[in-house]
Amino acid sequence: MHEPPTNSMISRVCASLQIQGVRNMINTAEEFVNLRQSQGSREQEQASLDFADINVWLSVIEKYPDFKIWVVHNKTIQIEILEILASDNDPKIRSEVARKRKINDIIYERLSIDLDEEVMVLYYYYGQKLLSNIINFRENINYTRS
């Protein structure tokens, strides 16, 4: 069984992510909300691009439900958070999840039975686009192997 990560381990990972081009880390739900509410484009960009721990996102979802849409828009959002938001009561949130490129089988399955018309349209549109990309990728691999 693995031990939970220490603050030192988390700091090393964050430093590594910064070296790899990931910007800063969002440490609290309040920090995320402040970044989103800022008038500065740099701060709003941080809210979209900076990494946050899963617990930070869960806190945003719980404490600031009006900001769930912005959680979905974050480029570093973990798949586990998208899985949760794919079952959200608000169809606008589920629609935004359907637009994401990084959806897994769990999300795909949840969205496939959604009763909201907009969610279904987006699910089929982006799902077909994803399927088409997979088929094209496989065909290109087979073509280059010939």
| Domain ranges for the chain | 1-77, 90-146
Joined together, the tokens standing for residue 111 give 């969205």
Give, for all 146 residues of the chain, the pLDDT tens digit: 445 556 665 556 555 555 445 568 999 999 999 999 999 999 999 999 999 999 999 999 999 999 999 999 999 999 999 999 999 999 999 999 999 988 888 998 898 888 998 888 887 777 665 555 555 555 666 555 55
Q: Can you state the percent helix, strand and coil of the chain, rounding each to 5?
A: 70, 5, 25
**What pTM value is reported for the model?**
0.72
Neighbouring C-beta atoms of residue 139, cutoff 10 Å: 10
Q: Alpha carbon of 15 to those of 5, 19, 23, 95, 96: distances in Å?
A: 15, 6, 9, 34, 30
Print burial letters for 84-108: b (CB count within 10 Å at least 16), e (below 16): bbbebeebebbbbbbebeebeeebe
